[in-house]
Amino acid sequence: MTVILKTTGLSRYFGAVTAAEDINVTITEGEIVGVIGANGAGKTTFINMVTGYLPPSSGTIDFGGNAIKGLGPRKLMRKGLTRSFQIPQLFLEMPVIDNLAIALAAAENKQFQMIRPVRTPKRLEAAEEILAQMNISQYRNEMVTAMPQGARKLLDIAIAMLGSPRMLLLDEPTSGVSMEEKYALMDTVMEAVRQRGLTVLFVEHDMEIVQRYVTRVLAFASGIVIKDGPVEKVLADEKVQELVTGKPQAPKIEGDAPHES
């Protein structure tokens, strides 16, 4: 079993506020790891640091045996570390097919072509395949604005899986998705993950989803990892129940409908 991601002493402070402190996590190739914690526990901060969106205040990050701290999202994507977003990050005023076509071109590192159309027959075919796998083929010619939230999440995750990544970080894949759609969405995503043999780290609020799809769990509270281990064990832990799962979940504000900017 090879280690794919390893963080040591990873911390992030915003002024006097501790967003994440001394996070030591080792993840091996092929693991599906859940990240749980109340709002503000440091989950998204952790993901943002690992994927290069937020520079850590201190600590180290190793990916595939290389130190990656200080690298931006672009370089990390090229190294095989990608992510999806709590609020899907898509090109809202572009047809779904073009969202995929440009992402495919970028994955091939062909983003500087000026004369050849981005919609090559090969890319269109690949895009159709992805749409079919994600069960969102019916939206191919629609603008992203015409898609429901669940379909947007799937497209966002599909784009993150392009360019043969090795590891995928999912930031609350089911937030904003209705109860009925949740499992179908996760089944689709996990099937795609399995086919590609990806290592997955995913942040989730819904404990049923966590129990169903994850083998190992990291529990965050106040910026630190309070428990790390097999899912049953972590969820049964008293401290975790008290700080993470026991309380009724607070209504979320940050995961609301995406706002066009």
Query: Which residues fall within 8 angstroms of residue 236, CB to CB, at 6 or more apart?
Result: none
Cα separation of 128 and 132, whole Å? 6
Q: Which stretch binds other proteins (CB under 8 A): 57-65, 74-82, 181-189, 238-246?
A: 74-82
Give the one residue of 16, 65, 74, 179 binding other proteins; rule: CB under 8 A: 74
Per the rule left: phi > 0, alpha: psi between -120 and 50, beta: everything else, 231 is alpha
Q: Is 17 in the site for other proteins (CB under 8 A)?
A: no
- C-alpha radius of gyration, the chain, whole number: 18
Q: Which of residues 181-220 bind other proteins (CB under 8 A)?
A: none
Q: Which of residues 90-119 bind other proteins (CB under 8 A)?
A: 90-95, 98, 101-103, 105-107, 109-119
Q: Which is nearer to other proteins, 81 or 234 (CB)?
A: 81
By rule CB under 8 A, what string of x and - marks binding of each residue 128-147 to other proteins? -------------xxx----
Q: Which is nearer to other proteins, 107 or 185 (CB)?
A: 107
- Report CA torsion sign: 238, 239, 242, 245: negative
- Report CA torsion sign: 96, 100, 103, 109: negative
Q: Which is nearer to other proteins, 107 or 186 (CB)?
A: 107
Query: Which residues fall within 8 angstroms of residue 162, CB to CB, at 6 or more apart?
Result: 100, 103, 104, 106, 107, 130
Binding site for other proteins (CB under 8 A): 48, 51, 53, 72-74, 77-78, 82-83, 85-87, 89-95, 98, 101-103, 105-107, 109-119, 141-143, 159-160, 162-163, 254, 261
